[in-house]
A and B are shown apart, each in its own frame.
Chain A
Amino acid sequence: MSEAFKPKIVAFLCNWCSYTASDLAGTARIKYSPQVRILRVMCSGRVDPAFVLKAFALGADGVMIAGCHPGDCHYIEQNYKTIRRHAMLRYFLEQMGIEPERLRLVWASAAEGQYLAESIDSFVADVQKLGALNWSANWEEDGQREEMLAEIVREHAAVMEVQP
Chain B
Amino acid sequence: MISDETLRIGVYVCHCGSNIAGMVDVEKLATFAEGLPHVVLARHYKYMCSDPGQELVKKDIATFDLNRIVVAACSPNLHEPTFRRAAEAAGLNRFLVQMANIREQVSWVTADKDEALEKAQAHLAAAIRRVAGHEPLQREFVRITPRAMVVGGGIAGIQAALTLADAGKEVILVERQPSIGGHMAMFDKTFPTMDCAACILTPKMTAVKLHPNIKMLTCSDVQSVEGSVGSYKVKVRRRPRYIDENMCVGCMQCIDGCVFTKPKFPNPFDQGLGLRKPVWIPFPQAVPPVPVVDPEVCLQLSRGKCKQTCVEACGERNAFRFDQQETIEEYEVGAIVVATGFQAFDPSVIPYYGYGTYPNVYTSLEVERLLNAGGPTSGKLVLRDGSTPKRVGIIHCVGSRDANFHAYCSRVCCMYALKLAHLVREKTEAEVYNCYIDIRTPGKGFEEFYNRVQNEGVQFIRGKVADITPVAGQGTAADGGLVMQVDDTLLGTIRKINVDMVILAVALEAQADTADVRRTFGISCSTEGFFLEKHPKLAPVNTANDGVLIAGACQGAKDIPDTVAQADAAAAKALVLIDSGQIELEPNTAWIKEDMCSGCMTCISLCPYKAISHDADRKIAVIDAALCKGCGTCVAACPSGAAKQHLFADEQINEELEGLMNYV
User: Chain A residues in contact with chain B, CB under 8 A?
Assistant: 8, 10, 16-17, 19-20, 22-23, 25-27, 29-32, 34, 37-43, 45-51, 54-55, 58-60, 71-72, 74-78, 81, 85, 109-112, 117
Contacts and interface: CB of A to CB of B under 8 A. Distances in A.
B108 A27 contact: yes
Contact of A20 (B109, B119, B544, B630): B544
Interface stretch (B241-249, B475-483, B655-663): B655-663
30 contacts: A10-B657, A10-B661, A16-B544, A19-B77, A20-B544, A23-B104, A25-B109, A29-B109, A30-B109, A34-B110, A34-B118, A37-B660, A38-B123, A39-B656, A42-B588, A43-B631, A43-B632, A45-B606, A45-B631, A46-B633, A48-B635, A48-B637, A49-B636, A54-B657, A55-B661, A58-B662, A74-B522, A74-B544, A75-B608, A76-B608
A48 B640 CA distance: 12
A117 B119 contact: no
Interface in B538-563: 544-545
A8 to B, nearest CB: 7
B109 A117 contact: yes
Contacts of A23: 75, 77, 101, 104-105
B608 A78 contact: yes
Given A74-B522, A110-B532, A46 B126 contact: no
Contacts of A60: 661
Nearest to B525: A111
B650 interface: yes
A38 B648 CA distance: 15
Nearest to B638: A48
A41 B524 contact: no
B556 to A, nearest CB: 12
A111 B556 CA distance: 14
Among B112, B633, B648, the one with the most A-chain Cβ atoms within 10 Å of its Cβ is B633
Given A22-B104, A26-B75, A76-B608, A34 B636 contact: no
A34 B107 CA distance: 10
B654 A41 contact: no
Interface residues of B, number: 53
Contacts of B630: 42
B108 A58 contact: no
A76 B227 CA distance: 11
A71 B519 contact: yes
A133 to B, nearest CB: 12
Contacts of A40: 76, 101
B629 interface: yes
Given A27-B104, A58-B658, 17 more contacts: A10-B657, A10-B660, A23-B104, A26-B75, A27-B108, A34-B109, A34-B115, A39-B653, A41-B653, A46-B632, A48-B637, A54-B657, A55-B661, A72-B519, A76-B608, A111-B524, A111-B527
A46 B103 contact: no
Contact of B648 (A25, A46, A81): A46
Interface string B49-93: 000000000000000000000000001110000000000000000
B215 to A, nearest CB: 28
A59 B663 CA distance: 12
B340 interface: no
A43 B645 CA distance: 12
Contacts of B527: 111-112
A76 to B, nearest CB: 4
B106 interface: yes
B114 to A, nearest CB: 9
A34 B532 contact: no
Interface in B613-664: 629-633, 635-637, 645, 648, 650, 653-654, 656-658, 660-662
